[in-house]
Every structure is written in C-alpha cells, then in structure tokens.
C-alpha cells in the first residue's frame, strides 16, 4: 500500500501506458471499473485512501491519448458540439468537489510564505509616517478601528486608555 506524497509522484503514477492499482498491484487501462468490481470501492474512496489529487486521471497514458484523439475526431466531424457548455458550467459550479490533498495544502502554505510581503510594507517600530505621525500609534489605531467595525470594541477601548495613560 503506497500513498502519493507530491505532485511529482502523482504525475509519475499516471505517466505509464497502463495505470497500476495500489490495492492489488495489477495494471489497467482504466481503473474505475476495476475498483468497483474487484475492490468494491468508489474512485473517491481510492483517491482518499492513497492521497491522489482530484484532478489526476485514473487511466493509463495510452487510454487517455486514444480517447483524446477520438474526441478531436468527433469534434472535427461535427458529431460532438459545444452547445451544452453553458449548462455544464453552471452544473460544475454546484457539483461536489474533492478535498485538496495534504501535499497541495503544504505547497500552498509554502507559496504563501514566499509571497507574504506584509512585513515589507510596515514601518519599523518608532518610525514616523510622511505626515509626521507616529507609525506605531497609527497602526494600533487602524487595528482597533477595524475590530470596532467588525463588532469588537475592546481594542478601541484599550487604544483610548493607552492614549490617556501616555498623555
């Protein structure tokens, strides 16, 4: 029993002509039917058990390529049209989506850390703003005001008490 721990492992898992079942070790072109018949589990249960992302197809590369070519041919011949897409988009917005996998969440957290620039945008302690006001006091007031707007007056009360103590 093997779990997928990264996006690279997921891509490696689907890169072969046939896809391997982690339950029994056999290879198949398409895994969904095998999972239902042999292991009595849904595709979503399989994904959760082995940490496979929702967007990862459970079909071998050869099957996916054949299906892609077939669909392109049907579209070119006019057999498949796209008149239904407006309804499909609406249905997709309300359909159930699988949970994100732990390595996806870890990757997102790492990306957020890399992109966090709030420290760069704040003034160092004790500095003055361009208008000559104390940056720390202004920041404290902004936090208190936002909390007050969200229904929590405690920070504004503490801010005003702090002002009276300094005066």
Q: What's residue 154's pLDDT?
A: 93
Cβ contact 123:135 at 8 Å: yes
Q: What is the pLDDT of residues 121-138, one digit of tens each?
A: 677 777 887 888 888 888
Model pTM score:
0.53
Cβ contact 7:56 at 8 Å: no
Element (DSSP H or E) covering residue 28? strand 27-28
Element (DSSP H or E) covering residue 146? helix 135-149
* Residue (of 18, 44, 160, 35) closest to 96 by Cα position: 44
Cβ contact 62:18 at 8 Å: yes
Q: What's residue 149's pLDDT?
A: 93
Tokens of 27: 């290879």
- Indicate if the pLDDT at residue 118 is higher than 70: no
- Indicate if the pLDDT at residue 19 is higher than 90: yes
Cβ contact 80:74 at 8 Å: yes
Element (DSSP H or E) covering residue 20? strand 19-20
């Amino acid at each position: 029993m093997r779990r997928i721990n990264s996006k690279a492992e997921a891509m490696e898992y689907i890169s072969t002509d046939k896809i391997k079942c982690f339950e029994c070790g056999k290879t198949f072109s398409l895994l969904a039917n095998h999972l239902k018949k042999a292991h009595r589990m849904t595709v979503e249960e399989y994904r959760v058990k082995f940490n496979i992302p929702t967007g990862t197809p459970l079909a071998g590369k050869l099957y996916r390529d054949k299906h892609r070519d077939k669909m392109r041919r049907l579209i070119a011949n006019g057999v498949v049209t796209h008149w239904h897409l407006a309804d499909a988009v609406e249905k997709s917005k309300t359909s159930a989506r699988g949970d994100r996998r732990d390595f996806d969440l870890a990757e997102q957290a790492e990306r957020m850390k890399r992109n966090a620039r709030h420290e760069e945008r704040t003034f160092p302690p004790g500095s003055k703003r361009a208008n000559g006001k104390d940056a720390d006091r202004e920041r404290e007031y902004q936090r208190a005001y936002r909390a007050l707007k969200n229904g929590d007056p405690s920070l504004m009360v503490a801010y005003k008490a702090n002002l009276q103590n300094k005066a």
